[in-house]
């Protein structure tokens, strides 16, 4: 059956979350004069925050914690690592982080070009994101890519996240697509590549951080332009 529908993950697949988050936290760090007040180096702080945040998102993906736990802990635990236990400060960072991150809307290299390419080839495009409902559509709109997509599915819409098959089922229903004519492209090995494959849907693993994970028969790319080799 001919491929007709292309589903994309959003963060770090099209929308450069890692870069945009870095710039947002750096701005808040400077506004609160964290370096001078607490003698914390920003790069060291960001490295700690990144590791903590990634671990918490993995726990959300696996159903161990909810998003409220993540919001309460990612900045609090990061500051605590440097001996600063200040709930008011961590709450300030959390609230302003979510508000301000959409002020930075850098896309992953080649994102708009590949979206133009797929549109020109008459593929119908969609988003399936594990992100929060309240920011997913804003990211798409403010970065100028919302018009490419027929549907945008966020995990909050149904209360489960990739790799749970229910989110793929929901998104396919919303898009009126069949799994046999659909493919998912994403950067998370478990949530995207394995999630779609186990659901019975074709997948391309965007190995953006060159994790070099392999599974026989699974398509993999390290740059979005390489999608043209498959579609």
The structural domains of the chain, ordered by start, are: 5-15+107-229 (3.40.50.1000), 17-101 (1.10.150.240)
Q: How buried is 4 (Cβ within 10 angstroms: 0-12 exposed, 13-18 middle, 19+ buried)?
A: middle
Upstream peptide bond of 163 is cis (omega within 30 degrees of 0) = yes
- Write out pLDDT tens, residues 31-65: 999 999 999 999 999 999 999 999 999 999 888 99
Average pLDDT of the chain to the nearest whole number? 94
Q: In sequence order, what are the residues at sequence separation of 6 or more whose Cβ sits closer than 8 angstroms to the Cβ of residue 105? A: 15, 20, 139, 142, 143, 144
What is the structure's pLDDT at 214?
A: 65
pLDDT tens for 80-102 read 999 999 999 999 999 999 889 99
pLDDT at 134: 77
The helix/strand count (H/E) of the chain reads as 9, 6
Is a pLDDT exceeding 70 seen at residue 220? yes
Residue range 162-181: average pLDDT? 96
* Percent residues over pLDDT 90 in the chain: 87
Question: Which residues in the chain belong to E strands, given as ranges?
Answer: 5-8, 124-129, 149-154, 182-186, 202-206, 219-221
Share of the chain above pLDDT 70, in %: 97
Contact 2, 181 (CB under 8 A): yes
pLDDT of residue 198: 96
Please tell me the predicted confidence (pLDDT) of residue 98. Answer: 87
């Amino acid at each position: 059956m001919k491929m007709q529908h292309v589903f994309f993950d959003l963060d770090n697949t099209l929308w450069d979350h890692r870069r945009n988050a870095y710039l947002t936290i750096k701005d808040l760090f400077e506004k609160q004069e964290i370096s001078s007040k607490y003698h914390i180096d920003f790069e060291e702080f960001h490295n700690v925050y990144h590791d903590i945040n990634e671990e918490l998102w993995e726990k959300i993906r696996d159903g161990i914690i909810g998003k409220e736990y993540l919001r309460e802990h990612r900045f609090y635990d990061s500051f605590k690592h440097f001996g600063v236990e200040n709930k008011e400060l961590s709450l300030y960072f959390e609230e302003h982080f979510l508000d301000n991150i959409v002020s930075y809307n850098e896309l992953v290299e080649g994102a708009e070009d590949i979206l133009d390419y797929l549109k020109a080839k008459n593929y119908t495009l969609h988003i399936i994101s594990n992100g929060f409902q309240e920011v997913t559509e804003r990211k798409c709109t403010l970065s100028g890519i919302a018009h490419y997509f027929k549907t945008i599915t966020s995990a909050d819409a149904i209360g489960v996240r990739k790799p749970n098959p229910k989110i793929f089922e929901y998104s396919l229903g919303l898009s009126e697509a069949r799994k046999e004519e659909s493919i998912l492209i994403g950067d998370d090995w478990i949530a995207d590549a394995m999630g779609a494959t186990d659901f019975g849907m074709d997948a391309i693993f965007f190995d953006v951080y060159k994790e070099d994970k392999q599974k026989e028969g699974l398509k993999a790319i390290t740059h979005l332009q390489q999608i043209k080799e498959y579609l």
